[in-house]
Amino acid sequence: MRRRLLALVCVSAFLLTACGVLPGTGGSDRQTVTVWLMKDSASQEFLDRFTADFEHDHPDLDLDIRIQQWTGIGDKVETALAADDKNGPDVIEVGNTQVPQYVDGGGLLDLTLEAAAKWGRDDWLPGLSEPGQQRFHQYGIPWYAANRVVIYRKDLFAQAGVTAPPRTRADWLAATEKLNSGGNQGIYLAGQDWYTLAGFIWDEGGDLATEDGGRWTGALDTRAALRGMDFYRRLQALGDGPVAADEDHPPQAGEFAGGKVAQIVGVPGLAQAVLEQNPALEGKLGFFPVPGKNESKPGAVFTGGSDLVVPRRTDVRKGAVAVVAALTGAKWDTELARTMNYVPNKAKLAKAVAGEEGVAAMAAGAAQGRATPSTPEWAAVEADNPIKGYMTNVLTGSDPATEARRASRLITEALKVAT
């Protein structure tokens, strides 16, 4: 009798669809999209809301979001892209500057058509979108950004008679000179903070390396890049930052928390680390974008953040593209920015974070954001970074042009594999 009843159910259901695969019942017509996201990129509460909304709008899809650790993620992603495994990821969050190495391996789906026709590629922050491109093809889709701003002591600014945050580099130097007195450091800027230097170089029209016909060449010895280094030298001298170390040695948050530093350059979230070490600074910290050469726009900054990519081998292409479209679209991208204090992927969405001073400053700078040279071999440059040694040598009195030529040769040698 039980078999007869089951048979009748199946026959009846077949009039609508195949037995056991009614839409929305968890049958075989439902597909699972496996998504790898990095730890702390999004809160669990955000992911729960997104999943419920997405699955409601896509009744034929289930989301399986798996949180990954940053440590060792490069090898793990490379393995997943090379594997012919239906249980592998269909969407992966990757660091924006990591995209070129995955594109180079041929494992990513080309999303140029969707990016241009549906997702507003021309409006994306360049620091997120450019690393995701190769020869005008779009593989990495911008998700969120974070970049450096100036974190400052409002009380020390007032004591020095600096009534408003500077908006030009000339005003920034003048204000920092005033702040660098009475036992206070005008700014704590480590000698090897090469990400901050890169912004000054870009502002001058220079670059860290340039590409011509597939050949990459170090570019620190150009006149524009040397002007950027000269500004860095003058600014760094208005404090006691170590010339032979970067911003993490010692951690600059601890130096700022000591109470004698007027400014540092870092992501806004660094302020929380400062307050944890010195709660007395509560209410005394402010933020402004890194100043540019003139008041028309903030200075260029290195843009960090994440892109979303789709493995070429995915067997749920339509579902994977739908997930990328939803996560990077205006609704959920601005919601993520509000929830996690990020910069949205388009400058016109920055109003979503306008109420938070630090994030608003970051968003203003992100509009001028850039990324490191878009080649998978850039990792070889950072592994034994000649830019750091160049900076220290200049700050200790060596001839800038000579040191820039030497560092540029080392960058070129590290990038030769890409030719």
> Quick check: helix, strand or coil at residue 54?
helix
Q: Which band of pLDDT confidence, cut at 50, 70 and 90, is reported for residue 8?
A: very low
Q: Could you tell me what percent of the chain has a pLDDT over 70?
A: 93
Q: Tell me: the pLDDT tens digits for 334-348?
A: 999 999 999 999 999
pLDDT at 13 (0 to 100): 37
Calculate mean pLDDT across residues 247-253: 96
Of 288, 295, 293, 259, the C-alpha closest to 274 is 259
Distances (CA, A) of 99 to 13, 89, 141, 319: 46, 16, 10, 21
Q: Tell me: the pLDDT tens digits for 79-97?
A: 999 998 778 999 999 999 9
DSSP single-letter state for residue 247: T
> Would the pLDDT of 163 be above 60?
yes
Of 337, 191, 358, 180, the C-alpha closest to 274 is 358
> Quick check: helix, strand or coil at residue 208?
coil
Cα 355 from Cα 347, distance rounded (Å): 15
Q: Could you tell me what percent of the chain has a pLDDT over 90?
A: 88
Q: Which band of pLDDT confidence, cut at 50, 70 and 90, is reported for residue 278?
A: very high
pLDDT at 3 (0 to 100): 37
Q: 33: Cβ–Cβ under 8 A, 6 or more apart, which residues?
A: 61, 62, 63, 64, 90, 91, 316, 319, 320, 322, 323
For the CA atoms of 173, 178, 180, 184, what is the dihedral angle to 10 degrees? -140
Label the pairing between strands 31-38 and 61-68.
parallel
Calculate mean pLDDT across residues 273-296: 97
DSSP single-letter state for residue 83: -
pTM: 0.88
pLDDT at 87 (0 to 100): 83
> Would the pLDDT of 331 be above 90?
yes
H runs (alpha helix) in 244-316? 252-257, 270-277
Q: Do 215 and 377 meet the contact criterion of CB atoms below 8 Å apart?
A: no
DSSP single-letter state for residue 168: B
Q: Do 80 and 89 meet the contact criterion of CB atoms below 8 Å apart?
A: yes
Q: Do 403 and 232 meet the contact criterion of CB atoms below 8 Å apart?
A: no
pLDDT at 85 (0 to 100): 78
Cα 215 from Cα 415, distance rounded (Å): 8
Q: Tell me: the pLDDT tens digits for 111-136?
A: 999 999 999 999 999 999 999 998 88
> Would the pLDDT of 250 be above 90?
yes
Calculate mean pLDDT across residues 247-264: 96
Q: How far is CA 162 from the centre of its chain?
A: 31
Calculate mean pLDDT across residues 41-58: 98
Cα 15 from Cα 1, distance rounded (Å): 22
Q: Which band of pLDDT confidence, cut at 50, 70 and 90, is reported for residue 17?
A: very low
Q: Which band of pLDDT confidence, cut at 50, 70 and 90, is reported for residue 28?
A: low
> Would the pLDDT of 23 be above 80?
no
> Would the pLDDT of 48 be above 70?
yes
pLDDT at 343 (0 to 100): 96
> CA-based angle 43:45:50, to the nearest 5?
95
Calculate mean pLDDT across residues 8-16: 36
pLDDT at 6 (0 to 100): 38
pLDDT at 417 (0 to 100): 62
Cα 12 from Cα 316, distance rounded (Å): 30
Q: Which band of pLDDT confidence, cut at 50, 70 and 90, is reported for residue 105?
A: confident
> Would the pLDDT of 7 be above 60?
no
> Would the pLDDT of 152 be above 60?
yes
Q: Which band of pLDDT confidence, cut at 50, 70 and 90, is reported for residue 309?
A: very high
pLDDT at 14 (0 to 100): 35
Q: Tell me: the pLDDT tens digits for 369-390?
A: 999 999 999 999 999 999 999 9
Cα 156 from Cα 162, distance rounded (Å): 9
Share in percent of the chain as helix, strand, coil (round to 5):
45, 20, 35
Q: Which band of pLDDT confidence, cut at 50, 70 and 90, is reported for residue 74?
A: very high
Tokens 């798996």 correspond to what residue? 66
